[in-house]
Amino acid sequence: MRRAIFPGSFDPLTLGHYDIIKRGVTLFDEVIVAIGVNADKKYMFSLEERKQFIEEAFTDEPRIKVVIYKGLTVDFCKEIDVEFILRGLRNPADFEFEKAIAHTNRDLAPIETVFLLTSAKTSYIASSIVRDVIRNNGDYTKLVPKSVRHK
């Protein structure tokens, strides 16, 4: 069974994330959306809210699981026996950053990183932008799935 982990903070889940997950599940038998815990980071949404956003968005897709993890992503991959990390790329800066992480991960464990380009209609969306729009009472509903719209 081909399983991939799609790690991130998902603060909040965006349409860009949603697109990568939906396309990823066509390539893998199972996509595990893994919410990483970083004690040094301040989040807008609680861990429970972020998990709920993702579970609600994919309630009709049994091949998409949502989990929470701490520590290195590659260590978590080994722990749950996953050989692939799925990542989305929006722009060249994302590629350079993600390439360095992928090389490091491959040095640490036999894990392959699979990159998907974001769709043109979601390539500008970032969680940080969504949080800024929300903080300033803007219309964020065009940037996130329905599960996040009732925040």
Task: List residues forming the annotated binding site for ATP.
Answer: 9-10, 17, 88-90, 98, 122-128
Give a three-class secondary structure readout of 99-150. HHHHHHHHHHCCCEEEEEECCCCCCCCCHHHHHHHHHCCCCCCCCCCHHHHC
Confirm whether 46 is a catalytic residue.
Answer: no
Q: Is 99 a catalytic residue?
A: no
The annotated binding site is made up of 9-10, 17, 41, 73, 87-90, 98, 122-128
What are the CA-CA distances from residue 123 to residues 117, 119, 135 (Å)? 8, 6, 21
Set 3, 17, 50, 51: catalytic member: 17
Distance CA 117, CA 89 (A): 5
Q: Is 103 known to be catalytic?
A: no
Q: Kindly name the residue from 22, 23, 78, 90 that is annotated as catalytic.
A: 90
Cα distance between residue 135 and residue 99, in whole Å: 32
Q: What angle do CA 19, 23, 28 make, to 5 degrees?
A: 140
Q: What angle do CA 8, 119, 82 make, to 5 degrees?
A: 40
Q: Which residue of the set 50, 51, 127, 147 is catalytic?
A: 127
What amino acid positions are annotated as catalytic residues?
Answer: 17, 41, 90, 127
